């Protein structure tokens, strides 16, 4: 029995002695079930993110439901170059990580583990997850400028995994971390018939994945098998495709916009397959605060200068070449190298430099932007078809007359 405290009284001190209540430990199964549930939740979140990443890069009509704003936008995060780590998307690495964690948890369930073995390995793995979460959160904050709700959910899962694995190790194992880590490895070696088989299978699956996983996020410029007709409208907009089209699509685009690049390449391929029925007309709408009055904070910085280069290329008859090159260069995330542009397009370097401040080009760009504002366009890509504006993508029924070959 111990004394918990003292009560002060006018006449002296009255001792208040009450027995300390022992800490009540929850059953092992509660902790184990919590960790197992968290790991399964992280696995399903990663699978969803992997599917979303794939559809974001391959499905022209896909838009995730959590694309709520510029700051909270899963698509912006998925479409950034930081969503890829080495040969695989981050989400696929997440699937592999949680699968590995599940393997470790399986060994802690062995009766011979006595609720003690395996948890130092699990804690070390969970701490790695926390480090990766912190790094990717910083990238979202300082480099991408947008957050993915499901990514944030995985960060929460990772921190909770680290906490509960630390808690279960503290409750059921008195080993120091380093000593416990070594004992966990010895325990796995004792179960080597099972552990080596599972580790070999996991390693084999990862190697096969690394070898055969398709780099679907690399959107290549369509190869022109034949010359594409091109011209300039009375308003000064460049078009490619049919002189008398069945369907005329005016695209309002931004060279730093991922969806613009994906849709433009898709429409380019359609023009190549239906050169007598489809026309694609280009209109600049850079979401660059320096040039576009509807943009109130820095966003797609430099896309306005890229639009000025495209306007000059149209004057020089090099629009298609430069248009494709600008999309490619923007995708790399690096600043535009005018020397490289001059070499690859054959346009004089001095002319490209002058184009960035050429007053007629500035007026042309402002006319394009004002046209978009008049049509109540607030983002890219947007499309004007038969007097109606479509944002993000083009409904399949609009393209049906061209795709079906109907007049």
CATH code of the domain covering residue 289: 3.40.30.10
User: Does residue 1 belong to any structural domain of this protein?
Assistant: no
How many Cα atoms occupy the beta-carbon half-sphere of 279 within 13 Å? 20
Look at residue 405 in the predicted model and tell me its pLDDT: 59
User: Is residue 13 in some structural domain?
Assistant: no
- Check whether residue 108 and residue 237 sit in a common domain: no
Residues 260 and 167 in one domain: no
What is the spatial distance between Cα 75 and Cα 66, in angstroms, rounded to a whole number? 8
Phi, psi of 285 (to 5 degrees): -145, 65
pLDDT in tens, 277-309: 999 999 999 999 999 999 988 888 899 999 999
Q: Is there a domain that residue 74 lies in?
A: yes
Question: pLDDT class for 178, splitting at 50, 70, 90?
Answer: confident
Same domain, 50 and 181: yes
Same domain for 205 and 251? no
Instruction: Judge if 175 and 239 occupy the same domain.
Output: no
Do both 153 and 251 map to the same domain? no
Q: Is residue 221 part of a domain?
A: no
Number of domains in the chain: 2
Token readout for 204 is 């084999």
**Dihedral angle at the C-alpha atoms of 71, 77, 79, 81, nearest 10 degrees?**
120
Give the mean model confidence (pLDDT) for residues 148-174: 92
**How confident is the model over 250-267, as pLDDT tens digits?**
999 999 988 888 888 888
Pick from 269, 237, 242, 274: which is nearest to 253 by CA? 237
Q: Which residues pair with 282 in a beta bridge?
A: 251
Q: Is 165 within a domain?
A: yes
**Are 47 and 195 contained in the same domain?**
yes
| Residue-number span of the structural domain to which 357 is assigned | 230-403
Say if CB 299 and CB 311 are below 8 A apart: no
Last residue of a domain, one of 153, 177, 212: 212
Same domain, yes or no: 173 and 63: yes
Least confident of 6-10, 128-132, 151-155, 354-358: 6-10
Angle at 216 between CA 48 and CA 261, to 5 degrees: 100
Report yes or no on 365 lying in a domain. Answer: yes
In a domain, 6, yes or no: no
Instruction: Identify the pLDDT of residue 10.
Output: 45
Q: What is the pLDDT of residues 20-42, one digit of tens each?
A: 555 566 788 899 999 999 999 99
User: What burial letters (b/e) apply to 124-141, b meaning 16+ CB within 10 Å?
Assistant: bbbeebbebbeebeeebe
Whether residue 101 contacts residue 126, with contact meaning beta carbons closer than 8 Å, is answered with yes
Q: pLDDT tens for residues 380-402?
A: 999 999 999 998 888 888 888 77
Q: Which of 153, 178, 212 finishes a domain? A: 212
- The pTM of the full predicted model, rounded to 2 decimals, is 0.77
Q: Are residues 65 and 199 in the same domain?
A: yes
Distance, CA of 265 to CA of 259 (rounded, Å) = 10
Both 55 and 191 in one domain: the answer is: yes
The answer on 367 and 323 residing in a single domain is: yes
Tell the residue number behind the tokens 């918990």, with chain if given: 4
**Same domain, residue pair 173 and 56:** yes
Q: DSSP assignment of 325-369, as one string? A: HHHHHHHTTSPP-HHHHHHHH---HHHHHHHTT-HHHHHHHHHHH
pLDDT for 398: 87
pLDDT of residue 407: 44
What is the C-alpha separation between 186 and 278, in angstroms, rounded? 68
Q: Are 191 and 107 in contact (CB under 8 A)?
A: yes
**With contact defined as beta carbons under 8 Å apart, do 253 and 264 qualify?**
yes
Cα 172 from Cα 108, distance rounded (Å): 12
Residue 70, domain CATH: 1.20.1440.130
Q: Kindly state whether residue 159 falls inside one of the protein's structural domains.
A: yes
């Amino acid at each position: 029995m111990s004394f918990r405290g003292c009560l002060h009284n006018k006449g002296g001190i009255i001792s208040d002695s009450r027995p300390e209540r022992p800490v009540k430990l929850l059953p092992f199964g509660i902790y184990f079930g919590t960790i197992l549930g968290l790991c399964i939740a992280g696995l399903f979140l990663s699978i969803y993110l992997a599917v979303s990443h794939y559809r974001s890069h391959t499905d022209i009509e896909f838009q995730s439901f959590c694309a709520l704003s510029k700051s909270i936008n899963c698509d912006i995060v998925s479409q950034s170059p930081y969503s890829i780590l080495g040969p695989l998307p981050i989400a696929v690495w997440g699937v592999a990580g949680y699968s590995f964690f599940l393997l470790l948890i399986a060994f802690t369930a062995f009766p011979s583990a006595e609720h003690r073995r395996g948890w130092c390995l699990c804690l070390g793995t969970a701490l790695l997850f926390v480090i990766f979460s912190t790094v990717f959160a910083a990238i979202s904050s300082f480099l991408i400028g947008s957050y993915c709700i499901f990514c944030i959910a995985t960060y929460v899962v990772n921190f909770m995994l680290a906490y509960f694995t630390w808690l279960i190790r503290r409750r059921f194992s008195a080993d120091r971390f380093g000593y416990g880590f070594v004992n966990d490895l010895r325990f796995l070696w004792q179960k080597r018939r099972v552990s080596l088989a599972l580790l070999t299978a996991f390693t084999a699956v990862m190697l096969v994945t690394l070898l055969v996983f398709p780099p679907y996020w690399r959107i290549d410029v369509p190869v022109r098998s034949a010359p594409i007709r091109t011209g300039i409208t009375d308003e000064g907009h460049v078009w490619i495709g049919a002189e008398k089209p069945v369907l005329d699509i005016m695209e309002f685009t931004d060279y730093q916009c991922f969806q613009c690049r994906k849709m433009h390449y898709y429409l380019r391929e359609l023009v190549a397959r239906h050169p007598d029925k489809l026309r694609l007309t280009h209109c600049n709408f850079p979401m660059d605060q320096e040039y576009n009055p509807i943009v109130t904070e820095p966003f797609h910085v430099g896309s306005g200068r890229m639009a000025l280069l495209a306007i000059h290329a149209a004057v020089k008859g090099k629009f298609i070449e430069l248009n494709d090159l600008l999309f490619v260069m923007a995708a790399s995330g690096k600043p535009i190298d005018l020397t490289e542009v001059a070499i690859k397009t054959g346009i004089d370097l001095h002319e490209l430099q002058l184009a960035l401040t050429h007053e007629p080009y500035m007026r042309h760009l402002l006319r394009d932007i004002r046209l978009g504002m008049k049509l109540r366009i607030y983002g890219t890509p947007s499309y004007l078809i038969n007097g109606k504006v479509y944002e993000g993508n083009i409904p399949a029924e609009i393209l049906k007359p061209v795709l079906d070959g109907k007049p």
